[in-house]
Amino acid sequence: MAPTSRRPFLFMECSEIREILGEAAEDERRLVELLESVPLDSIYFHTHSYFLRHSYVERVYPNDFAQWVAMEVRDHVLAERLAVVDPFEFRGLEAFRGELISIIDDHLSKMPIVPRVIFGQPFYFNTSRILQVPTSREVRTLQEFRTALSDVEVSAIYFHVFEARHRLKEEESDFSTWVEQGLGFPELAERLRAINPYLGSLERLRSALLTACDDFLKSQDSSEERRELL
């Protein structure tokens, strides 16, 4: 019989309300100056919640900073360096901000002139608030969880993975926490933790989560069949 959690998992969707800070950069020097002073919520907006705004389409540059430097300034060297910085490798947004600043400062130290926008748009700093929206999808078993995961709105994936890590201040998602504590599956929880949400769109992340669940369910079925044969 499949384990049933006493504490059901309730899927939450979310929406984003954008707020304009009124700060803009037309060159890379001004960009790094503003990076030093804008609220950490703005760093989060331009990196983490970038994935919420681009849920289905995978981009070459997975954050607003790298995207702007590549497309508007046409500085592909810096864009590549900013694109490979994984925000989930840092313990907190302040450390992540420091890495972004360090990369741009190092890049500018090797440039004879400061790269700037010629025909493109300035970089506008924004922030946002994430509003959670409860759904009716409440599950108690892994199979129910897997079924719900396959068809919930993609913003639910964002909320329970990206927002959870920001909220809990740990390398943990709501999914892996519930799978381990609610269902008692530490092996599956560890596999869910190992999935890097930064590598691809939210739909690719959903696919990776489903694959992990499917593999575990198959292994559970095989174990059950072997027990019945004994």
Residue ending a domain, among 127, 159, 188, is 127
Least Cα distance to 165 among 62, 55, 89 occurs for: 89
Range of the domain at 160: 133-229
In a domain? residue 1: no
Domain count, the chain: 2
In a domain? residue 59: yes
Judge whether residue 149 has pLDDT over 70: yes
126: left (phi over 0), alpha (psi -120 to 50) or beta: beta
User: Based on the domain organization, do 165 and 121 belong to the same domain?
Assistant: no
In a domain? residue 11: no
Of all residues in the chain, the percent with pLDDT exceeding 70 is 93
Q: What is the mean pLDDT of the chain?
A: 91
In a domain? residue 9: no
Judge whether residue 144 has pLDDT over 80: yes
Judge whether residue 130 has pLDDT over 60: yes
In a domain? residue 91: yes
In a domain? residue 4: no
Q: Average pLDDT, stretch 99-107?
A: 98
pTM assigned to the model = 0.87
User: Based on the domain organization, do 200 and 170 belong to the same domain?
Assistant: yes
Q: Please, what is the Cα angle at 88 between 82 and 94, to 5 degrees?
A: 75
**What is the phi/psi pair of residue 85, to 5°?**
-75, 115
Judge whether residue 161 has pLDDT over 90: yes
User: Based on the domain organization, do 140 and 96 belong to the same domain?
Assistant: no
